[in-house]
Amino acid sequence: MPESSDPRSTDAVHSRPAGMDDATVAALGELSKALETVHRARGHLYSMHQLIGGADATLDRVVQLLRGAGHQDMADRVETELIGRNVLPGRWTFQIVEEFDDGYYATFQAVERAARDALAGGRRHIHEAEMKQARRTVGRPGHEATP
C-alpha cells in the first residue's frame, strides 16, 4: 500500500484527533518538551544523589589515611563535620529526591497527562509525529513512517 503524501498523515497512535487545531498541537508539544526537560533535571538530581553518596563513602578512606599519617585533629574534623552531614537542613539527598519525585515531578506529570487526555485523547507526541512526516522523504529507505 503506498504511503500517504498528506504532510500531516502519521500513524493512528500519533495522529491529531479530528478538529484539533494547530495551536493546541503546538501547546501540547511545548508542554511535552517542558516535561522532557524536567525528566532530564530529575536525572541530574539522581546523579547528585549518587555522587554525594559516593563522596561521603570516600570520606571513610580519607579519615583512615589522615589517621595513618598522624593527622588526628584533621581526621576528627572530617569525621565529625563531613561524614553523614545533611546536604540541606535536615535532609540527605535521598530525601531531596523523594520530595522532588512526590511533589513537583508527580504534579508536572499529572498535569501533562491531564492536558493530553483532555485535548488529544491521550495521544502523545502529535507535534513531533507531524514534524517527522513533514521532514521525511516518502518512499525512501530509512524514512519510513512507522517500524
Whether 63 is covered by a domain: the verdict is yes
Res 4: pLDDT: 47
- Least Cα distance to 4 among 126, 135, 140, 133 occurs for 133
| Helix and strand counts by DSSP (H, E) for the chain | 5, 0
Q: Is residue 103 part of a domain?
A: yes
As averages over each run of 10 residues, the pLDDT of the chain (147 residues) reads: 52 90 96 98 98 98 98 98 97 98 98 97 94 92 90
86: in domain? yes
C-alpha cell belonging to residue 138: 516518502
The reply to whether 8 falls in a domain is: no
In this prediction, residue 36 carries a pLDDT of: 98
Total count of domains within the chain: 1
Whether 12 maps to a domain, the answer reads: no
Q: Is residue 14 part of a domain?
A: no
The answer to the question of residue 39 being in a domain is yes
Q: 99 — phi, psi (to 5°)? A: -65, -40
Residue 56 is assigned to a structural domain of this protein = yes
Expressed as residue numbers, the domain containing 107 is 22-135
At residue 91, φ and ψ (nearest 5 deg) are -130, 135
Q: What global pTM score does this model have?
A: 0.83
Nearest to 131 by CA among 33, 8, 15, 35: 8
Q: What pLDDT score does 5 carry?
A: 46
What pLDDT is recorded for position 11?
A: 82
